[in-house]
Homo-oligomer: A and B are copies of this chain.
């Protein structure tokens, strides 16, 4: 048993796994099944020696009878019987946080797939890891099976990143893809996604964009060298997307995707999560179903796109394992890309001029002068309208509170400031020519 390149014999790496859900059980299975092949690759044996979970007796399709059992993940994290602690419990606080801290405090390397934990406590944990000399891996925390953390921490050489954006939530992408392929409403599609296990019973966290925001905040720190700031993100989900939006997008040559976008500006960092029109022929538009993708725009590399499965036991376990292999090899990288004392305090950019146009869908009262009044208000804010689309086949049959019929109007603007669009819409609402909340979707040329 030799490490590559020198004569030293390395002892087996003893791994403790806390959390035996889908990912944890898959990881244990892979390590038990593919152990010999991994040893060949690595020159060092990897052995799961201990586990912690809620139920000892649950059938997970793996044999844990020969492993040390812990009811308390903190006790496992501190146990003398392991060299590396894997946290797959989940949750931003509670036992996951306590156990990860306990391991890092004593200089024990940690691998976690927990994006909520990283978004909230990543800076604290990175500092602890640096102080005690422990490694902290979290490849699986963002975009499941896609090696985006490694690419950002190690793979881009000197490339200075200007913008990162991506599809980071499989639930949303599944729903939007199906809505694009079939004439099905958001609500019905969500029900199917829940039945298929692609969406949680309470889907808010996914469909309203918060999960994407967590992941984006971690990527933004690795990209730009600022402290993690999950609370400085404008977040908008997909629950208000209708078939009307999807179909007009298709007519115009776009697909709608929920993107997380972070970019470096002269005034600081801009982070946002929202549904976006992306051009149909673009690589990111081809990322469908439960797939994820992350695109990086750099000074040197132009654009790099990484696409793959964003969730699921095997892809996520494979990412956890790639962190384990790095630690077994002795690879040393600061958890957040640069030593944490080099991270800059977060600087939030004011919402800047959005480069690209807007899709605006309104329910306008079907009365003479309504459209003229609406477009006049937009003209007052210097918003140029590229096209006005009225598709009677898609138009919702609504009636205003005053009894007048309404028709759905879609306007596509040229490049303009988001603030101008929002101000003009507020005035249009005050004028009384529209009913309900307008739909506003950004168009990105990418």
Q: Which residues of A contact B (CB under 8 A)?
A: 3-6, 30-31, 34, 37-38, 40-41, 43, 130, 133, 135, 139, 145-147, 150-151, 154-160, 281-288, 291, 293, 298-309, 312, 314-315, 317-326, 329-334, 337-339, 342
Do B133 and A338 touch (CB < 8 A)? no
Q: How far is the CA of A135 from the CA of B5 in the complex (A)?
A: 9
Q: Please name all residues of chain B whose beta carbon is closer than 8 Å to the beta carbon of A285 when the two chains form the complex.
A: 286
Q: How far is the CB of A421 from chain B (nearest CB, A)?
A: 29
Copies of this chain, tallied across the complex: 2
Do A304 and B308 touch (CB < 8 A)? yes
Q: Please name all residues of chain B whose beta carbon is closer than 8 Å to the beta carbon of A300 when the two chains form the complex.
A: 30, 145, 314-315, 317-318
Do A308 and B303 touch (CB < 8 A)? yes
Do A322 and B147 touch (CB < 8 A)? no
Q: How far is the CB of A179 from chain B (nearest CB, A)?
A: 15
- Given contact pairs A41-B337, A139-B155, A302-B309, a sample of 17 additional A-B residue pairs in the complex whose CB atoms are under 8 Å apart: A4-B332, A4-B339, A5-B334, A30-B300, A37-B160, A38-B158, A41-B334, A41-B338, A157-B324, A157-B325, A158-B321, A291-B303, A293-B305, A299-B314, A302-B315, A305-B305, A329-B331
Q: Please name all residues of chain B whose beta carbon is closer than 8 Å to the beta carbon of A323 when the two chains form the complex.
A: 157
A155 contacts which of B135, B150, B302 (Cβ < 8 Å)? B150
Do B321 and A157 touch (CB < 8 A)? yes
Do A322 and B5 touch (CB < 8 A)? no
28 contacting pairs across A/B (C-beta < 8 A): A4-B130, A5-B133, A6-B133, A30-B157, A31-B158, A40-B339, A145-B302, A147-B304, A156-B318, A157-B317, A157-B318, A157-B322, A157-B323, A158-B321, A281-B288, A283-B283, A283-B287, A285-B286, A286-B286, A300-B317, A300-B318, A301-B308, A301-B315, A301-B318, A302-B309, A305-B307, A330-B332, A331-B332
Q: How far is the CA of A207 from the CA of B15 in the complex (A)?
A: 50
A314 contacts which of B5, B301, B331, B342 (Cβ < 8 Å)? B301
The residue on B at minimum CB distance from A26 is B300
Q: How far is the CB of A335 from chain B (nearest CB, A)?
A: 9
Q: How far is the CA of A238 from the CA of B69 in the complex (A)?
A: 60
Q: Please name all residues of chain B whose beta carbon is closer than 8 Å to the beta carbon of A6 when the two chains form the complex.
A: 133
Do B4 and A333 touch (CB < 8 A)? yes
A-B interface, 5 closest residue pairs, ranked by CB to CB distance from nearest? A157-B321, A147-B155, A300-B314, A283-B286, A157-B322
- Residue of A6, A293, A303 most packed against chain B (CB within 10 A): A303
Do B146 and A304 touch (CB < 8 A)? yes
Q: How far is the CA of A300 from the CA of B37 in the complex (A)?
A: 15
Q: Please name all residues of chain B whose beta carbon is closer than 8 Å to the beta carbon of A304 when the two chains form the complex.
A: 145-147, 306-309
Q: Please name all residues of chain B whose beta carbon is closer than 8 Å to the beta carbon of A139 when the two chains form the complex.
A: 155
The residue on B at minimum CB distance from A305 is B307
Q: Please name all residues of chain B whose beta carbon is closer than 8 Å to the beta carbon of A150 when the two chains form the complex.
A: 150-151, 154-155
Q: How far is the CA of A40 from the CA of B30 in the complex (A)?
A: 37
Q: How far is the CA of A147 from the CA of B329 in the complex (A)?
A: 19
Q: How far is the CB of A157 from chain B (nearest CB, A)?
A: 3
Q: How far is the CA of A40 from the CA of B341 in the complex (A)?
A: 10
Q: How far is the CA of A295 from the CA of B156 in the complex (A)?
A: 19
Q: How far is the CB of A140 from chain B (nearest CB, A)?
A: 9
The residue on B at minimum CB distance from A309 is B302
- Residue of A30, A38, A315, A321 most packed against chain B (CB within 10 A): A315
Q: How far is the CB of A105 from chain B (nearest CB, A)?
A: 15
Q: How far is the CB of A90 from chain B (nearest CB, A)?
A: 20
